[in-house]
Chains A and B, each alone.
Chain A
Amino acid sequence: DQQVKQNSPSLSVQEGRISILNCDYTNSMFDYFLWYKKYPAEGPTFLISISSIKDKNEDGRFTVFLNKSAKHLSLHIVPSQPGDSAVYFCAAHAGGSQGNLIFGKGTKLSVKP
Chain B
Amino acid sequence: KAGVTQTPRYLIKTRGQQVTLSCSPISGHRSVSWYQQTPGQGLQFLFEYFSETQRNKGNFPGRFSGRQFSNSRSEMNVSTLELGDSALYLCASSSTLGGYGYTFGSGTRLTVV
Residues of A that sit less than 8 Å from B by CB: 32, 36, 41-46, 89, 91, 93, 96-106
* Interface of chain A: mostly helix, strand, loop or mixed: loop
Q: Are A43 and B99 in contact (CB under 8 A)?
A: no
Question: Whole-angstrom distance between the alpha carbons of A81 and B44 in the complex?
Answer: 29
Chain A's nearest CB lies how many Å from the CB of B2?
Answer: 14
Known: A41-B106, A42-B106. A89 touches B99 (CB 8 A): no
Residues of B that sit less than 8 Å from A by CB: 4, 33, 35, 40-45, 48, 55-56, 58, 90, 92, 96-100, 102-107
Contact with B90, one of A44, A46, A91, A99 (Cβ below 8 angstroms)? A44
Question: Whole-angstrom distance between the alpha carbons of A101 and B48 in the complex?
Answer: 11
Q: Are B43 and A99 in contact (CB under 8 A)?
A: no
Closest to B97 in A: A97
Q: Are B98 and A99 in contact (CB under 8 A)?
A: yes
Q: Are B98 and A43 in contact (CB under 8 A)?
A: no
Q: Are B4 and A105 in contact (CB under 8 A)?
A: no
Question: Whole-angstrom distance between the alpha carbons of A101 and B35 in the complex?
Answer: 10
Q: Are B90 and A105 in contact (CB under 8 A)?
A: no
Q: Are A103 and B98 in contact (CB under 8 A)?
A: no
Chain B's nearest CB lies how many Å from the CB of A7?
Answer: 12
> Which 3 A-B pairs have CB atoms at the shortest separation, nearest pair first?
A43-B104, A105-B42, A103-B43
Q: Are A99 and B42 in contact (CB under 8 A)?
A: no
> Which residues of A are found within 8 Å of B97, using beta-carbon distances?
97
Chain B's nearest CB lies how many Å from the CB of A64?
Answer: 16
